[in-house]
Amino acid sequence: MGTNDMLKTLILSAKDVRELLEMGEVMSAVEDAFRAYGEGKLWMPPKAYLKAGKGDFRAMPACMAGAASIKWVSFQPHNRSKGLPTVIGVMIYSDSETGYPLAVMDAAEITAYRTGATAAIASKYLARRDSHTLGLVGAGRQAYSQLLAHAEIFKLELIRIYDIRPEASQRFADFFPHLHIQASPLEDTASSDIVCTMTPAREPLVKREWIRNGTHINAVGADADGKQELDPTILSHAVVVVDDLRQASAGGEINVPISKGMFKLEQVDATLAQVVVGEKQGRKADDEITVFDATGIAIEDLATAKLVYEKAQQQGRGLAIELVETG
């Protein structure tokens, strides 16, 4: 890192971060992080939740050789009416040997990109290789990232989008005029080869009878206690892979079915890290239904923050300040 008189903290705005992110690079970094996690080279505790108003705050630390990070992120579902994003977050990226804060950066785009990247990585290992239709349930910010990430891997011939707000579905379709996108009923959207659910629902939206054999589902919206998007019988008939057992059982798609005795933790087939390193197999047959329970874990943030910081240094982006006195 250099001598003490050269140490400064890099401040990266939302604009800086947005312009430094490229989905293919993020996907590579995140997949490497899951591989390293599976090999015991990355460490993290479960995310901590703090209820606040009608939403919550979440603290998400992680560490690897040479670097550590913590994301302080808030989800406030009514922020849109105030002209604010529903997700607001800040990332602190530090040198793990000295603790020096190398960067403080906006975390909203990092969260959006790494979440889309992780789901697409899960699809890479769990979806049928010939998958060519993508169903997106929810047309918020995450839908854009999910499409960008999946388009990196799959040849998508049709993208179906469903949202309770038809204007949101139309905005999404207009944003990608070069792609074949249809605003569709929920039932049709759920009949796609790959289905990504991205809503704050607390009651199941997607019914078992809508899901065809061979479908892969990325359950992204359920990321806190009480949230649920899928008919729990889907889980009972599926190969279930989670990003983290502790987080998924406490606040992922499996949390409500477990609390009601409709699903057992022992029914989880693998973690994504185990699948990536080859310790466990995900999909075993083309007619299986597979589900990835994505709660969002801190190693994804660390990998993406590291990428952003290194690119910012290379390109001379951000504002360098003496945040910490070095003596």
Catalytic residue ranges: 71
d(CA 63, CA 12): 20
Instruction: Mention every residue, 6+ apart, whose C-beta is less than 8 A from residue 26.
Output: 113, 114, 117, 304, 307
Please say whether the dihedral angle defined by the alpha carbons of residues 161, 126, 129 and 232, taken in this order, is positive or negative: negative
